[in-house]
């Protein structure tokens, strides 16, 4: 279709951004997950103390242990959004980040690929990215990943070194979340590709060195880089819930490479290896799902355009049509801010159950469901455990798993040793049955999400 070949890239980018913005702005499910609560609490702590976290101030079991949250800037943004307009403010923040990333991808792809293939590629990319959408620091960093990757790909395709204007992107990214190391790996792969083809090797090397220095410009310095490396090299655990994304992308990548092979439009082997690595990482960790979804169209846009003879036509004049999707974004944002939004009970939000716990009791030691830990932190309650797996040691986590399996004897010993006065567990947790049979405990409250037990001597 000629329409998509002649459409100005700015119009395509603004239209894509508006569609993604509208989709996320009224999608409360994006806020699901236990991590969001302690991320907001960490950002709130940073704002109140004018410092970044270096030890755990939240739990009572690991209080004072080393714990540096490299997502500090993202957490500050999340806390400010929540302070500004509650959950609606958070939806606005994350919808804006996703829309910006979508717009950048659409801009890059529409400058190379035209015809009906343009919307097909963009729709597939955004649909796959939806598998990993969650209100996490990684989503706030997604626009930086798209700017960084598209800038490096453009430099490689044009036979030049990357622009130094990309370096501030790395500084900001390194302070938002540890996924910036993926950006350095993308740089290494494309720099190696330039070296193999003897294209500006020296300039790529200089840029790479400056990019590493830029990644160190965080409150954590070299330790931040090591922390990011530990996350990438963490033990591999297959996440079967990611198979939908991976199978979809694997099919799309196979089809794309097949078309390129038939049309004799080869893709550099290193780029294929890069995409396969991102695909592999997406199967292991949810935060990487969005990266492969937006990286694939950026990497394959130019060779697909040449193979399909669907190259976008050059557009010299700016189109005023870009104002319409931008106006829609502004109107939608205003509507979201005017409509109140309150979260109800959920798998990580035992709001009704927690409301039944007397305030004085809530300040005493608790034994809790791991998924409820973030909610407790958010409400200024020190949990026994929460979803910060990087803080709690493997031995501690294994012991907790045994207690809720349930190992009644171990659970009773732990409750006594930690002077626990109340518990809050998921309604379907096997340990609930153990609590029901303990002589010194009784149920205070129960619903479909959570069960609260208190000691008999609690008044």
Of 272, 301, 332, at which residue does a domain stop?
A: 332
Residue 4 pLDDT more than 60?
no
Nearest-5° Cα angle at 307, 301 to 7: 50
Q: Based on the number of CB atoms within 10 Å of its own CB, is 26 exposed (0-12), middle (13-18) or buried (19 or more)?
A: middle
Please give the Cα distance from 81 to 88 (Å, whole number): 8
Is residue 370 located within the same domain as residue 427?
A: yes
Let me know if residue 345 belongs to a domain. Answer: no
Count CB atoms within 10 A of the CB of residue 261: 12
Is residue 90 located within the same domain as residue 197?
A: yes
Is residue 412 located within the same domain as residue 322?
A: no
pLDDT of residue 1: 47
Residue 391's domain comprises 351-455
Is residue 225 located within the same domain as residue 116?
A: yes
Highest mean pLDDT out of 151-155, 262-266, 291-295: 151-155
Residue reference for tokens 């609930």: 432
Is residue 267 located within the same domain as residue 174?
A: yes
The residue ranking higher by pLDDT, 409 or 326, is 409
Using CA atoms, how far residue 238 sits from 232, 282, 283, in Å, is 14, 10, 6
How does pLDDT run across 335-383, given as a tens digit for each residue?
A: 887 877 878 889 999 999 999 999 999 999 999 999 999 999 999 999 9
Q: Please provide the average confidence, as pLDDT, over all residues in the chain.
A: 85
Q: Which residue pairs, CB below 8 angstroms and at least 24 apart, start in 230-234?
A: 231/178, 231/181, 231/390, 232/181, 232/182, 232/281
Let me know if residue 341 belongs to a domain. Answer: no
Residue 236 pLDDT more than 60?
no
The dihedral built from the CA positions of residue 259, 262, 263 and 268, taken in this order, carries a sign that is positive
Let me know if residue 96 belongs to a domain. Answer: yes
What domain count does the chain have? 2
Res. 118 pLDDT band, cuts 50 70 90 = confident
The residue ranking higher by pLDDT, 387 or 34, is 387
* Cβ–Cβ under 8 Å, residues 149 and 35: no
Is residue 359 located within the same domain as residue 321?
A: no
Please give the Cα distance from 181 to 158 (Å, whole number): 25
How does pLDDT run across 91-108, given as a tens digit for each residue?
A: 999 999 999 999 999 999
């Amino acid at each position: 279709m000629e329409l998509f070949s002649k459409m100005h890239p700015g119009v395509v980018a603004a239209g894509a951004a508006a569609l993604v913005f509208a989709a996320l702005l009224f999608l409360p499910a994006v806020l699901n997950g236990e991590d969001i609560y302690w991320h907001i609490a960490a950002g709130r702590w940073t704002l109140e103390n004018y410092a970044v976290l270096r030890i755990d101030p939240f739990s009572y079991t690991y209080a004072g242990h080393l714990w540096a949250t490299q997502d500090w800037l993202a957490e500050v943004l999340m806390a400010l959004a929540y302070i500004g307009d509650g959950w609606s403010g958070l939806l606005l923040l994350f919808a804006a980040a996703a829309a910006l990333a979508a717009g950048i991808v659409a801009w890059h792809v529409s400058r190379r690929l035209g015809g009906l293939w343009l919307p097909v590629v963009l729709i597939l990319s955004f649909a796959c990215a939806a598998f990993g959408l969650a209100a996490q620091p990684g989503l706030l960093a997604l626009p930086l990943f798209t700017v960084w990757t598209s800038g490096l790909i453009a430099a490689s395709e044009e036979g030049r070194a990357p622009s130094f204007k990309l370096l501030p992107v790395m500084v900001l990214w390194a302070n938002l979340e540890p996924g910036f190391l993926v950006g350095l790996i993308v740089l290494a792969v494309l720099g190696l590709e330039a070296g193999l083809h003897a294209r500006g090797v020296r300039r790529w090397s200089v840029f790479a060195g400056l990019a590493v220095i830029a990644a160190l410009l965080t409150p954590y310095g070299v330790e931040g880089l090591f922390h990011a490396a530990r996350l990438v090299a963490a033990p591999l655990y297959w996440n079967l819930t990611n198979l939908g994304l991976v199978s979809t992308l694997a099919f799309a990548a196979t089809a794309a490479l097949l078309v390129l092979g038939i049309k004799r439009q080869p893709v550099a082997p290193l780029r294929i290896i890069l995409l396969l690595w991102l695909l592999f990482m997406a199967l292991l960790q949810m935060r990487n799902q969005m990266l492969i979804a937006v990286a694939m169209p950026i990497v394959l846009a130019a060779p697909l355009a040449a193979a399909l003879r669907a190259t976008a036509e050059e557009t010299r004049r700016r189109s005023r049509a870009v104002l319409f999707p931008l106006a829609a974004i502004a109107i939608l944002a205003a509507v979201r801010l005017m409509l109140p939004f309150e979260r109800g009970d959920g798998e990580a939000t035992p709001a009704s159950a927690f409301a039944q716990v007397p305030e004085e009791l809530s300040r005493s030691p608790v034994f809790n469901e791991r998924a409820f830990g973030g909610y407790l932190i958010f409400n200024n309650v020190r949990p026994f455990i929460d979803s910060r797996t990087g803080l709690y040691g493997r031995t501690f986590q294994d012991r907790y798993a045994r207690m809720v399996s349930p190992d009644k004897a171990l659970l009773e010993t732990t409750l006594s040793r930690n002077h626990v006065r109340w518990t809050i567990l998921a309604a379907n947790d096997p340990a609930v049955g153990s609590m029901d049979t303990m002589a010194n405990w009784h149920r205070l409250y129960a619903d479909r999400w959570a069960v609260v037990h208190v000691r008999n001597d609690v008044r």
